[in-house]
Amino acid sequence: MPSTLMIHSTKPERRVKPGFNWAALLFGSLWAFSEGLVLRGGRLVAVDCLAGILWSVGYPATMVAGSAVFIAKNVVVARSGGAWLQQHLAEQGYRAVS
């Protein structure tokens, strides 16, 4: 799938790949912060904390639930991350070039 070139009058250009993002799947919250999605990254860290709390309870059922929350969060980030990044850049004044 081709990437979208985002340009700005004073900031460097960025390429955004739509669709599934493997880096976002593997790194989730860290990927969001590295791309400048600070607000979303903070929310993702809150979900990571919830998963950690579920893990720390120590019962097998809560550990499975914590793992499911963590994996589901990373899958959502991997599927939606490109759109989130493109929207964030558009809010900063970038525009897509086709």
The set of residues, in sequence order, having a beta carbon less than 8 Å from that of 15 and lying 6+ positions away, is 3, 4, 5, 6
* Res 98 pLDDT > 80: no
The answer to whether 61 touches 80, Cβ cutoff 8 Å, is no
CB atoms within 10 A of CB 64: 12
Give the model's pLDDT for residue 58: 87
Helix axes 60-91, 38-57, angle to 10 degrees: 180
CA 44 to CA 67: how far, in whole Å?
Answer: 14
The whole-number average pLDDT for the span 75-89 is 94
Tokens, residue 84: 């989130």
What is the per-residue pLDDT for 2?
83
Mean pLDDT taken over the chain: 93
70/52 Cα distance (integer angstroms): 9
Between 25 and 58, the more confident residue is 25
- Per-residue model confidence (pLDDT) at position 45: 97
1 pLDDT above the threshold of 80? no
pTM for the whole thing? 0.87
In tens, the pLDDT along 31-70 reads 999 999 999 999 999 999 999 999 999 899 999 999 999 9
The ranges assigned to domains in the chain are: 4-97
